[in-house]
Amino acid sequence: MDFEFTDEQKMVRDMAKRFANEEIQPFARENDIKGRFPADIIKKMGPLGFLGATIPAKYGGAGLDFIGGAIIFEEVGRACSSVRTILSVQLSLVGITLLNWGNEGQKQKYLPSLCRGEILGCFALTEPDAGSDAANIKTSAVKKGDGWILNGSKTWISNGGIADISIVFAQTDPSKMHKGITAFIIKKHTPGFTSRVIRGKLGLRSSYTAELFLEDCLVSDDDLLGEIGEGFNIAMTALDNGRYGVAAGCVGIIQGCIDACVKYSNERRQFNKPIASFQLVQDMIARMVVDRDAARLLVYRAGDLKNKGNKNTLETSIAKYFASEAAVRAATDAIQVHGGYGYSNEYPVERYLRDAKVSTIYEGTSQIQKLIIGEHILGVKAFV
């Protein structure tokens, strides 16, 4: 693995950093307080190639490798995790999934518009009674003529309700359990397909999260993504990409904590000297720096495997587990460095903590990541 960025990656880093500093960060606090979806920011990301970063140019993407994609996720995550979440869903869970599993017609129909930001997508797997146990989804799809009738509900769907297209997973043959799950592409205004926004979230307040409801929702055979019964495999490969985006975004949260603490600790004076000179303040910041470097290298290792087309479930889970937990540690310490001011939204560190916490839950909890790691190392499943 080469640790030197290519010229293209350096250009992407500089562009993403500038965009994050100028277009995202100045509005992050107000968007968080008001729970305002940053539609204007997302629109601006399209022409820069961020929304289609790792999608080939033939489908309207920027054609970057996965390290380039991680650089964008990190810089956007440093500025605002809500925006990074929207980006991760659009690119990692929807765009790359369509690229890998869609037929040529579906790719041509949806990918260019997704990359330009003309349409938004969401990934609807989680249900009220099927979170970590994704194989146990209850949403059903019953064949009818040249289409399917879907019934069921989904919850905690990022971009849900405002997405123009949704990748929805349903059980087409319950007797086959997880091998009976199939994926469908459902357009926003399809009859029987409705949503309800989820309010009162701890963090990611300017992202849009919703419940989705399917009541005798009719979709055609053309809306089938992949083959019948391939849904579970589609979902698991998509989550490998989603977890990668989360991990890279968490590196950005840690970097944001470091930036805030370095600035504050050099300005804040106690006992007639800046608190940056206090040994225990330096201890907390040093731990953030070590966690940032370790998390970033784990992300890049997973990205290098993705670039080579090699299996990377283990490495991606390790990166997601470590980076998300490290982001929570960094944000907790960052609040401590800021003292009472860190407990208010006058400074960004309390938002970093609220936003970081969900990264240990969605795209597979930290506990699920440890079970994935354990299964790979021990060769034994914790559950069947």
Q: Catalytic site residues?
A: 363
Q: Between vectors from CA 40 to CA 35 and to CA 41, what angle results, nearest 5°?
A: 85
Per DSSP bridges, beta strands 269-270 and 224-225 are unpaired
Cross-strand partners of 169: 183
Integer Rg of the chain from CA: 21
Contact (Cβ atoms closer than 8 angstroms) between residue 64 and residue 8: yes
**Distance from first CA to last CA of the chain, Å, rounded?**
35
> What distances in angstroms separate CA 55 from CA 138, 190, 235, 246, one per listed residue?
32, 27, 18, 18
- Residue 130: φ, ψ to 5°: -145, 90
Beta strands in the chain (DSSP E): 121-124, 140-144, 147-158, 165-171, 181-187, 193-197, 209-220, 224-225, 269-270, 273-274
| Residue 202, burial from CB neighbour count under 10 angstroms (0-12, 13-18, 19+) | exposed
Which residue type is seen at 201? K
Q: Which residues pair with 127 in a beta bridge?
A: 130
